[in-house]
Amino acid sequence: MAKHISFLVIALVLNFFNTSLAIPVTYNVLSLGAKPDGKTDSTKSLISAWAAACGSPRPATIYVPPGRYFVQQVHFRGACQNKAIMIRIDGTLVAPSDYNALRSVGNWILFEGVNGVTISGGILDGQGTGLWACKTSSKLCPSGATGVKVLASGTSPNTDGIHVQLSSGVTILRSKISTGDDCVSIGPGTANLWIENVVCGPGHGISIGSLGKDLQEAGVQNVTIKTVTFKGTQNGLRIKAWGRPSSGFVQGVLFQHAVMINVQNPIVIDQNYCPHNLNCPGQVSGVKVRDVTYQDIHGTSATQVAVKFDCSRNSPCTGIRLEDVKLTYQNQPAAASCANAGGTSSGLVEPTSCL
């Protein structure tokens, strides 16, 4: 009888232990010393909350209540014991307004070596520092950003809103991004990326690239970008690659349900990217672009050429598909331009396809 009682006690203890591990824990940055006045440095409080959540055996939430929190450069490092961390932002994270405060590190918010992290809500105010507001740059990185607002002046240089590279399985949902550069930039080594319900503007649009800067470079594949709106941006849906030899590639991309409002270059593939004509004049891109679909894209272009496929003569674009595209310029059908691009069109396509 005693043995049966002992077994029952042990089973109850194990059950209680397992249940307790499943109960989420919350780390409020206010409790760790953060001040919501937009002036007091709250960086240490945010890092302390991260350290606790990262080391917790239980699902954890880092909570940023309403208010403005001044934050210096933050580096969220893994690997974490916890694979279920939510960063819930009901307030605003404010970057230093002085460009020099972040120039030496090259980023504001960096996730590295982490997995299973989700960012939800809030505003990331870059204050035009000229640096990325949010950068995921490791093979293990945040699994998603939901309901995030990223703000920087439309005239601030190099202010990519969210940069993703060397990452797989990242999701960006229901976000509003205003920057002086790409709203979202997608770098080498990105796979299985999902972007949905994003509003971009001002900014340079959503860009795959720039790619092909290095001779040996990982490719970009299986990317879905859908239900996006571009307002007064320089570009809409863009793929860009350096005009130089590279082993890089882009394949399996779906651009779907996009609205363009006075966008300078709504649809563009540029494989002759060569800023300042340095290190690439006279060369051609080796990046292979294939199997890219544009489906249900409509709106207005700020320039006459709304669709431009300027592909490499050595590595032409293949498998480009236009389906139900309608873009106008000054209430008239816009124009399309193709070089070294092949593919098909179906449904109503305006401007008339040049593929």
SS3 of the chain: helix, strand, coil, percent, to 5: 10, 50, 40
- Distance in angstroms (rounded) separating the CA atoms of residues 107 and 72: 10
Are 330 and 298 in contact by the 8 Å Cβ rule? The answer is no
Closest CA to 110 of 81, 146, 71: 71
What amino acid occupies position 208? I
Options 4, 75, 163, 204, the catalytic residue: 204
Q: Please answer whether residues 106 and 131 qualify as being in contact, where contact means their C-beta atoms are separated by less than 8 angstroms.
A: yes
d(CA 40, CA 314): 55
Q: Which strands sit side by side in the sheet containing 74-77, from one edge to the other?
A: 74-77, 109-112, 134-136, 162-164, 184-186, 206-211, 235-242, 265-273, 305-310, 335-339
The DSSP-derived string for 152-173 is --TT-TT--SEEE-S-BS-EEE
- The two tokens of residue 301 are 């272009």
What's the rounded Cα separation, in Å, for the pair 236 and 244? 24
Active site residue 204: yes
Radius of gyration of the chain (CA): 23
Q: What is d(CA 187, CA 209) in angstroms, rounded to the nearest whole number?
A: 5
Tokens found for residue 199: 């509003």
Residue positions counted in the chain: 355
Q: Is the separation of the CB atoms in 43 and 72 below 8 Å? A: yes
289: number of Cβ within 10 Å: 30
By the 8 A CB rule, do 108 and 137 touch?
no
Cβ neighbours around 338 below 10 Å, total: 18
**Which residues are marked as active site?**
204
